Amino acid sequence: MLTLFVDYPKWIDPYVINGLPIRWYAVMYLVAFAVAYALFRYQCKHDGYLRMTSDESQTFFFYGILFLLVFARLFSVFFYSDGWYYLTHPWMIFWPFRNGQFVGLPGMSYHGGVVGALVGGMIFCHLYKKKLLRITDTVVAGIPLGYTFGRLGNFINAELYGRVTSGPWGMVFPTAPGFSTDLEWVREIADKIGMAYTPGSIINLPRHPSQLYEALFEGVILFLILWFIVRPWKLKKKLPDGTVFAFYLMGYGFFRFMIEYCRQPDAEIGYVISLGKESDNIALFQSFLNISKGQVFCFIMIAAGAVLLAVLLWRYHCGYREEADRPEKRIKGKRT
């Protein structure tokens, strides 16, 4: 019988070196930060849109990454985990050990990271007298390409996999929970894709490789849109600061919202909005009207980006222009 699914590559090992608690997931996120920083510095040197020294750029990224990690962890703890447990055990929020083993920070929220990065950017801009939206426009133009490596890290870690699918591109992840063949829908999918099983057994059905979907759409495609379409348009037309950031919010929010239909919600959370005729099985896509918590945050991103863009266009049509070529103030004796 022809099998219509793909096995997760057995040669992939989540650890860089066996025996050491260093995962490719962490390495890929370091690569993501490095790529975003390199693209940021490229724009500072070649676009003439933002004037920042290397030292100031490093300080800005330090603030951004620090608050990104803090807020990403806090959002994960209080929106996707047992918030009451962490309120009564606050020292466990950033404690990287579980049961005597180093596990890092298990659970980080992208949306919390966005909020944290903005907070860090606001603090930096206040201290160094910079324009927040001008810096934000510059950094978000390159972030999606760096984000691509982060999602590849999730794939190597065999985590954040999607819902069950009978498509030939479905992948069997070894870390995914199995399903009992006593369930009719499990048998139907197994028969359709040619997966062998015995009655009453537990089988691991193929799932959407949603990490790769996100790496492609939220990463590569969004980067191409921002870097080669929105950014040149912004520089050529000299629209107000914040234009690229607005498109980033809407673009990422839209792609992530749609891909969430392929991702399985957290079992302990499920759907926050269940308006579909069926919503009893989160392992399967049942309706576009079943909305996860992640999709709610994505909708907020889209709405925030649309409002920001509307305000910017209103200011533009009212005759407002940002003086992009005006030198910024000197800080501590340095020309910025």
pLDDT tens for 67-98 read 999 999 999 998 888 777 788 888 888 877 77
Q: Could you tell me what percent of the chain has a pLDDT over 70? A: 93
pLDDT at residue number 324: 45
Longest pairwise C-alpha distance within the chain: 76
pLDDT over threshold 80, residue 226? yes
Domain enclosing residue 28, as ranges:
6-232
**Cα–Cα distance for residue pair 323/18, rounded to 1 Å:** 54
Return the percent helix, strand and coil in the chain, to nearest 5.
Answer: 55, 10, 40
Domain contains 288: no
**Cα–Cα distance for residue pair 257/222, rounded to 1 Å:** 14
From residue 67, give the alpha-carbon distance in Å to each of 75, 117, 118, 139.
Answer: 12, 6, 8, 15
Looking at every residue in the chain, the average pLDDT score rounds to 90
Sequence-separated (6 or more) residues with CB below 8 Å from residue 299: 253, 257
Q: Say how many domains are in the chain.
A: 1
pLDDT at residue number 321: 60
Domain contains 249: no
Looking at residue 243, its amino acid is: T
Helix (H, G, I), strand (E, B) or coil at 207: strand
pLDDT at residue number 320: 65
- pLDDT digit string (tens) for 15-69? 888 777 778 888 998 999 999 999 999 999 998 889 899 999 999 999 999 999 9
The model's confidence at residue 108, banded by pLDDT at 50, 70 and 90, is confident
Domain contains 312: no
pLDDT at residue number 335: 41
The model's confidence at residue 330, banded by pLDDT at 50, 70 and 90, is very low
Annotate 53-74 with b (16+ C-beta within 10 A) or e (fewer).
Answer: eeebbeebbebbbebbbbbbbb
**Cα–Cα distance for residue pair 83/89, rounded to 1 Å:** 10
pLDDT at residue number 104: 67
Hey, CA dihedral for 305, 308, 311, 313, is it positive or negative? negative
Within 13 Å of residue 210, how many CA atoms lie on the same side as its CB? 20
Domain contains 215: yes
Domain contains 257: no
